[in-house]
Chain A
């Protein structure tokens, strides 16, 4: 099985971007060669790695982070103070259901979302969100890759949507995969036309006990191998998921 090790940002200035994210999430950061690593001092949430690497411009980034905060308005101001920018606060309503999200950018333009559900005590990464063509299918791949349960979304939500007049293509427009122990982050999939950047601004790095066996298992599940890189301390394989998102297995 894969274990999520880092969310990795390709940056022009890893020091600057890591400072932003560490301050936003209350992480500690440390330099590692030309990279920076930001980790949760409480050990609960996923680490972030900032590499000096080329990235392509995107309109709709294929992978982004959803951050939960105690107070969305206060967090918005904090992000601006830290050097981020505002895109828009977006609310949706489908029948009885509704929600608000503030979309922001970090200092290098990476989009992310802020939400403030009840009982959020501190800022944390809640979802890794994939813009994709087939949320259900891509979600199933990732559930399998992570050894997480492959569960359907609660049917009562679909009933609410149908009652409000939502049609079938939109009802299958999202999917959620989460760890059995409820640990964060969850993987969220929604149907969105995404950019196809040559170099992803953000990707996921995974650890595993037996890399070669794992790569084989993932290929059977629909992933493809780009290449295996041999470092001095670490060998890792770059792969793509069934919708082409690159990720690393080390």
Chain B
């Protein structure tokens, strides 16, 4: 099985971006060679890695993070002070169901969302890694299998509620969530969105596995494809693409 090791940002200025994200998430940041690493002192948040690497311009970034915060409004102002930017605050509603979040950008333009869902713990954390994709259920099933996470049952009551409001089947299959069995975070969220097709992804995911070779074979059978395997001095890792072309690394 894959274990999420890093969410990796390709950046022009790793130090600046690591500082931004570490302050935002109450992480600590430290250099690691040319790169910077930001880690959660509590030990349960996902590690962030900032590499000096090329990235393509995007309109709709294929992968972004959703940050859960205790107080969205207060956080918006704090993030502006840290050097982030506002895109917009959005509310989506269908009948009685409604959700509000604020879309922002980090100092290098990477879009991310902040939200305060009910029962948010009093600290800030990455709630979701969100994929823009064509087929949320299929891509979600791939990632659930890759991570050894349970395949989620569709909440039929909620689906019926949406149907009653006039939502058609095509849009009912427009999102999917998969999460670790212990209710850990982040969840992986999949939503149907037309995404950009960057040559170099601004954000990608790095995973570790106990047996890289066996794992790569298993993932290929599940629908991933291998780009290449890189041999480093300390680390050998394989770059793969998921069924919708998103690159990820397995080391």
| A interface residues with partner B (beta carbon < 8 Å) | 58-60, 76, 79-80, 84-94, 105, 109, 133, 164-167, 169-170, 191-195
Chain A min CB distance to B83 (Å): 10
Write out the residue numbers on chain A whose beta carbons fall within 8 Å of the beta carbon of B194: 58-60, 192-195
Write out the residue numbers on chain A whose beta carbons fall within 8 Å of the beta carbon of B60: 192-193
| B interface residues with partner A (beta carbon < 8 Å) | 58-60, 76, 80, 84-94, 105, 109, 134, 165-168, 170-171, 192-196
A59 in contact with B134 given A92-B89, A133-B59, A167-B105 (CB within 8 Å): yes
List 14 interface pairs A-B (beta carbons < 8 Å), by A numbering.
A60-B193, A85-B166, A90-B91, A91-B90, A92-B89, A105-B168, A164-B86, A165-B76, A165-B84, A166-B88, A192-B59, A193-B195, A194-B194, A195-B194
Bound-state Cα–Cα, A87 to B94, Å: 8
Write out the residue numbers on chain A whose beta carbons fall within 8 Å of the beta carbon of B167: 85-87
Beyond the given A60-B193, A93-B88, A194-B194, please list 16 additional residue pairs across the A-B interface where CB-CB is below 8 A: A59-B192, A60-B194, A85-B167, A89-B93, A90-B90, A90-B92, A91-B90, A91-B91, A93-B91, A94-B86, A105-B168, A105-B171, A164-B86, A166-B86, A166-B87, A195-B194
Bound-state Cα–Cα, A169 to B105, Å: 10
Residue of A nearest to B90 (CB): A92
Chain A min CB distance to B162 (Å): 8
- Considering the complex of A and B, which 10 residue pairs feature the smallest CB-CB distances, nearest first? A193-B60, A167-B85, A60-B194, A85-B168, A165-B86, A86-B166, A59-B194, A193-B59, A93-B89, A80-B166
Do A86 and B88 touch (CB < 8 A)? no
Chain B min CB distance to A166 (Å): 5
Write out the residue numbers on chain B whose beta carbons fall within 8 Å of the beta carbon of A93: 88-91
| 8 Å CB contact of A88 from B59, B88, B89, B92 | B92
Do A92 and B166 touch (CB < 8 A)? no
Chain A min CB distance to B235 (Å): 34
Bound-state Cα–Cα, A166 to B76, Å: 11
Bound-state Cα–Cα, A80 to B95, Å: 13
Residue of B nearest to A104 (CB): B166
- Tell me the dominant secondary structure on chain B's binding face: mixed
Residue of B nearest to A100 (CB): B91
Write out the residue numbers on chain A whose beta carbons fall within 8 Å of the beta carbon of B94: 86, 88-89
Bound-state Cα–Cα, A193 to B64, Å: 15
Chain A min CB distance to B24 (Å): 15
Bound-state Cα–Cα, A76 to B92, Å: 15
Chain B min CB distance to A10 (Å): 17
Bound-state Cα–Cα, A91 to B196, Å: 24
Bound-state Cα–Cα, A165 to B107, Å: 12
Do A89 and B90 touch (CB < 8 A)? no
Residue of B nearest to A94 (CB): B88
Bound-state Cα–Cα, A59 to B88, Å: 22
Do B86 and A85 touch (CB < 8 A)? no
A92 in contact with B171 given A60-B193, A133-B59 (CB within 8 Å): no
Do B171 and A85 touch (CB < 8 A)? yes
Chain B min CB distance to A66 (Å): 17
| 8 Å CB contact of A165 from B85, B171, B192 | B85
Bound-state Cα–Cα, A170 to B109, Å: 10
Chain A min CB distance to B173 (Å): 12
Chain B min CB distance to A29 (Å): 24
| 8 Å CB contact of A109 from B90, B91, B170 | B170
Write out the residue numbers on chain B whose beta carbons fall within 8 Å of the beta carbon of A165: 76, 80, 84-86
Write out the residue numbers on chain B whose beta carbons fall within 8 Å of the beta carbon of A166: 85-88
Residue of A nearest to B58 (CB): A193
Bound-state Cα–Cα, A88 to B166, Å: 10
Residue of A nearest to B91 (CB): A91
Chain B min CB distance to A164 (Å): 6
Chain A min CB distance to B197 (Å): 9
A87 in contact with B195 given A166-B86, A170-B87, A193-B59 (CB within 8 Å): no
Chain B min CB distance to A159 (Å): 14
| 8 Å CB contact of A193 from B165, B168, B196 | B196
A88 in contact with B170 given A59-B194, A164-B86, A193-B196 (CB within 8 Å): no
Bound-state Cα–Cα, A79 to B193, Å: 24
Bound-state Cα–Cα, A207 to B94, Å: 40
Bound-state Cα–Cα, A86 to B105, Å: 30
Write out the residue numbers on chain A whose beta carbons fall within 8 Å of the beta carbon of B88: 92-94, 166
Write out the residue numbers on chain A whose beta carbons fall within 8 Å of the beta carbon of B58: 193
